[in-house]
Every structure is written in structure tokens, then in C-alpha cells.
A = this chain, B = another copy of it.
Amino acid sequence: MIQKLIAGIERTGAPIVVGLDPMLSYIPQHITEKAYEEYGETLRGAGEAVWQYNKGIVDAVCDLVPAVKPQIAMYEQFGIEGLRAFEKTVRYCKEKGLIVIGDIKRGDIGSTSQAYAVGHLGRVQVGAKEYGVFDEDFATVNPYLGSDGVKPFIEVCKKEKKGLFILVKTSNPSSGEFQDRLVDGRPLYELVGEQVAVWGETCMDGRYSNIGAVVGATYPEMGRTLRKIMPKAFILVPGYGAQGGKGEDLVPFFHEDGLGAIINSSRGIIAAWKQEAYAGYGAEHYAEASRAAVLAMKEDIAGALAGRLHRGC
């Protein structure tokens, strides 16, 4: 699966993933009004609004980027109806040729991780039949429970030729509270990174592994170290844009050939129409604002990577 992602990055020239993390406050009024007219101000109405909003953005950006990353929490908060919008979004994005990274951050004891792995990446058995369920291409996984909580995901990835991004150093301000604690003089995230490299060896797909890592754009120096510790892992980098990460911060996450990382932006793209820079598009043309924000991000990253070439670093 990582080779498919690489092919998508090379085709589009954009190591970018669009975070489909819809909040109702991002959705233009004409969409919510229509959904509420049809289904009322209900969970179903919210799910419908989210789905229509996503669809507009996906249609507007699907030729520009290789991948999307729906954050399941934003759907799960509306219960069954929200998860129905998640399911529709995953399917629609795959139909449009996009790779789908399910940002689910699951992780549990072995038998339970097995159930999550099957439901999100594999196929579940019911009697004599088998079903793909949410059927994302990649999923994010929380490593706090250690190897036996991660391995069921790896086994399903091997079987289904799918992939993972394991949380190593997250983008949020207090991620250091536990992740940076020194173990024998080295931060915990480095040990997790080393383990990602070990897990990754069992699941190679060409030069890169199907087992990648999540490292926040907000911590570029740590990204530089982790890039070395996990040379074969693709790094999914959240935190660009709204969370504070800038183009130049992204350079250390990439290998010199310009591969090895994919940068996520959520709010910065999907709610672009609410930002001053794109306000001219107006609510009606929110999806075009998202498209413009992707193009600007692509330029920002390309500029930063070209800058590295110039500086020879």
C-alpha cells in the first residue's frame, strides 16, 4: 500500500493528505440548512451536512492530492448517523482514486486490537461470509499497549496489503508529558520510533515499509532524529497550518529524494473559506477555497524542499 501512496505523491507532486475532520462550525450555512430542512436539526441532519460538505471538498481536490485522512472522532460524535457519513466518505474517496488513512488512533489488548484491525482494514467473518467494513487503506494506531496491541494490525496489513501509521510523537502541545520522558537518557518517543522500525521490517513494500509513523510538524528537530531512527518508515506529519507547523519545519521529515513523509492539513484546507486569505471565495465556493489552499500548501512544501536543495542540507 505504501507504494500506492508513493505513486500518488509522484503523480500529483504533492506529499499532502487532506484531513477530513469536519466540525459543524466549518460547514457553510447553505449546506447545513438544506440538510436540516430534509432531516431536521437531528443527528441524521448533522451526518448529512457533514457528508455533503466532504463531498464538495473531495470533488474539488481529488486531482491534486494522493490521500485523505478522515478523523473518525468528528463523525463518531454524531453516533450511528455520523459514522454513516464516515463510511460514505471513505467509499467515495476510494471511488475517486484517493488513498484513505483512517485516523482512528485505536490500540488495545491483542484480541481487541484484532477486532479493530478487522473492522477498519480487513474483513470480518459472519457465518460463511466475509465483509470489508470501514475498509480504509491505512489506519493510525496508538502504541501505549506495546507489541501485542499492535501486531494484530500488522497481521491484517500483511494479509490485505494495507498499512499503518503508529503514533510516535504527536503534534499537540502536551505530547511531551509522557512521550518526551527520558528512558536511559533518551526520550520515550525514540524508543517507540525504534520499535516502529522493527515492526516495519516485517512488512516491507519496496524501499519503504507499510508500517509508518506519526510525528507532529510542530516538533521538527525531533522529526530529524526520528527520520534517522526509522529510515524505512513513511512519516505522516500532522500539525501543519492551523496547529502552527510551517513549510520550512517540514524539511527534516523528508529524505533527500523528497520522499518519506506526507503532510496533513485539516482545518487549513477544509475550512479555508473561513480564513482571511480565502474569504473572497465566500461560503458558496468553499470547495474552491479548499482547492486554492491545497495549491498554496503544495507550493509552500515544494519551496521548502527546493530550499533544502539550494542550501545543500
Contacts and interface: CB of A to CB of B under 8 A. Distances in A.
Interface of A: 21, 23-24, 32, 36, 41-43, 45-46, 71, 73-74, 76-80, 82-84, 87, 105-113, 115-116, 118-119, 124-129, 131, 133-134, 142-149, 167, 170-179, 181-184, 188, 191-192, 195, 238, 243
Contacts of A191: 178, 181
A109 B171 contact: yes
Contacts of A134: 79
Given A143-B144, A175-B145, A179-B146, A115 B74 contact: yes
Given A144-B170, A146-B179, 7 more contacts: A41-B126, A45-B127, A80-B80, A109-B170, A110-B172, A146-B174, A178-B192
A175 B130 CA distance: 31
A183 B118 CA distance: 35
Contact of A146 (B74, B83, B172): B172
A73 B181 contact: no
B106 A73 contact: yes
A25 to B, nearest CB: 10
A142 B74 contact: no
Contact of A174 (B82, B126, B148): B148
